[in-house]
Amino acid sequence: MTRFVVRRNLLAWLVVGAVAGVTATAHAQAPVTITDPWVRATVPGQKATGAFLQITAHEAVTLVGGKTPVAPVVEIHEMKMVGDRMQMRALPNGLAIGAGQTVALEPGGYHVMLIDLPKAVEVGQKVPLTLTFTTANGERLDVDIEAEVRPLGRMGRPMSHGGLGHGSQR
């Protein structure tokens, strides 16, 4: 009788412990959250493309680079319109994101540039991409994501259809 009670209690404690453990893990938040990562499709012979995504930093981080099996070179770039001219530059010190900040890497601003693609990336493909950050205390943080490849010929941002009645977009 007693043994049965003890075993049941042990089981109960194990369950509680497991739940607590899982909950604890869930609450220990990753330093960054990546939302809606996508890569623009390419055509054969096209050597470069961009990856776009949103980064929410739960602590201050700097995006400094990345890695992907689909391209040997990954750089963090900024596109700027200077008057009527497009200027694109690799960010020499990466992209700093403050704690609690969300930064969108989107057409018209920042992007992750994938360079020297040996072959085209096609719509429907999932591109593995590791984003490398440095944290405030100088530690390196790698975040693995999967970016879906979206059509080259489509506007970057999802937009409502129906022509009339939506404002200008980039």
Give residues with Cβ within 8 angstroms of 76, minimum separation 6.
63, 64, 65, 66, 90, 91, 94, 95, 110, 111, 112, 113
69 close to 82: Cβ distance less than 8 angstroms: no
Strand partners, 55: 34, 103
Element (H or E) spanning 98, and its range? Answer: none
Choices 9-17, 30-38, 55-63, 73-81; region in contact with other proteins by CB under 8 A: 73-81
Choices 15-23, 54-62, 82-90, 130-138; region in contact with other proteins by CB under 8 A: 82-90
Q: Which of residues 88-147 bind other proteins (CB under 8 A)?
A: 88-90, 107-108, 111, 113, 115-116
Give the separation between CA 92 and CA 101, rounded to whole angstroms: 21
Binding mask 22-41 for other proteins (x = CB under 8 A): ------------------xx
- Judged by CB under 8 A, the residue of 12, 14, 81, 136 near other proteins is 81
> Where along the sequence are the contacts to other proteins (CB under 8 A)?
40-41, 43-50, 73, 75, 77, 79, 81, 84-90, 107-108, 111, 113, 115-116, 151-156, 163-164, 166-170
